[in-house]
Amino acid sequence: SAVISQKPSRDICQRGTSLTIQCQVDSQVTMMFWYRQQPGQSLTLIATANQGSEATYESGFVIDKFPISRPNLTFSTLTVSNMSPEDSSIYLCSVEGDSSGGEQYFGPGTRLTVT
């Protein structure tokens, strides 16, 4: 398994501002994933982040709105840019475990409220 930490755990932000969320893993991993969970909804994948290459975004998500950095094999950041109340969600990062089964592990999440 992997131990994942996220900062901040929660934040309240004003519309039009940006917030950068950090994700730290206790071991080196190839793939890191960023998910969004809107209120009352399930998780939706935003993008997949590989170290040393541009993140791959899912349909409906763009780099200008959700820029991602992946400077090394244990760390990634997700920025939520030019926020609006619709961005209020829990943002979670996850990694795939080192077994071949494809099990994914999740961080504790960042609860974002945009006013």
Least Å from the CB of residue 64 to other proteins: 21
Least Å from the CB of residue 53 to other proteins: 14
Tell me the C-alpha distance between 41 and 35, whole Å: 12
Site for other proteins (CB under 8 A): how many residues? Answer: 26
Query: Residue 61 is which amino acid?
Result: F
Backbone angles phi, psi at 87, to 5 degrees: -85, -5
State yes or no: cis peptide before 85, omega within 30 of 0.
no
Kindly list the distances between the CA atom of residue 73 and the CA atoms of 18, 23, 27, 35, in Å, as whole numbers in the listed order.
25, 11, 8, 18
- Residues numbered 37 to 76 that lie near other proteins (CB under 8 A) are 41-45, 48, 58
Least Å from the CB of residue 101 to other proteins: 6
Among 24, 57, 105, 113, binds other proteins (CB under 8 A): 105
Residue numbers at the binding site for other proteins (CB under 8 A) = 1, 4, 6, 31, 33, 41-45, 48, 58, 90, 92, 94, 96, 101-109, 111
